[in-house]
Amino acid sequence: MLPSNVVVRTCPGTWNGGAEILPSEEGAVATAVDKRRNEFAVGRACARAALSELGVPPCPIPSGLHREPLWPPAVVGSITHCPRFCAAAVAIRASYHSIGIDAVIDEALPPGLLAYIAVDEEQSWLTGAPGDIHWDRLLFSAKESIFKAWFPLTRAWLGFQDAMVTFSANDHAFWARLSRPLPHTCGGTRELRGRFMLADGLIFTAALVKSRIQTTP
């Protein structure tokens, strides 16, 4: 689903063997319940494994003020976890301005939530959407990935209604029209593109903001 120059590492969401929370990461989960601490530890373990594949030595990945992962200077990345799955994706900053990934259980959204996350055009499309896919949940996940790719570049909130997503079912792709543009250093575009896949009862989405000069294919 992701290009070859993006390193992805995954593990079961309940695994905690060898996963640790480093001292400088502890503040993000100091008062969290055990379930949240385990998710955090597993996510950081996936992230450090992915960084190692990039040649980055093991290092802390603390959290910012908005709970976003703070990556080493030369790296961009994203972490996701749901009840049965955890993943981290990282790449060299020279190749990508940002990455956003998300994983969710493949099931319908709770009643009433669709009106909160979907603009009118999306709701109209969903009424006739093709195939046996929970498109409402996929839309939710795509917007989560979009926000994760957006926020590190802008440090600004992007609500569900601030992105209109269009899907290409045949290509397993999506693109989003944003209410506000990305910074000029990232091309100043109002469009983000992404990919999705379904496997093992899960939905996976990813959004990428490419650098203007790619260092690898």
| 144 appears as a binding residue in the annotation | yes
CA distance 135 to 117: 12
| 44 appears as a binding residue in the annotation | yes
Encoded amino acid at 74, one letter: A
| 200 appears as a binding residue in the annotation | no
Sheet holding 202-210, edge to edge: 96-105, 202-210, 191-199, 173-178, 163-168
Token pair recorded at residue 144: 């989560």
- Cα angle for residues 196, 199, 203 (degrees, 5° grid): 45
| 158 appears as a binding residue in the annotation | yes
User: What's the chain's length in residues?
Assistant: 217
Token pair recorded at residue 95: 């190749």
CA distance 207 to 196: 9
Q: Which residues, listed in sequence order, are joined to residue 113 by a DSSP beta bridge?
A: none
| 25 appears as a binding residue in the annotation | no
CA distance 42 to 175: 30
Backbone angles phi, psi at 160, to 5 degrees: -60, -35
| Binding residue positions for CoA | 36, 44, 80-81, 102, 144, 148, 158
| Binding residue positions for Mg(2+) | 102-103
| Binding residue positions | 36, 44, 80-81, 102-103, 144, 148, 158
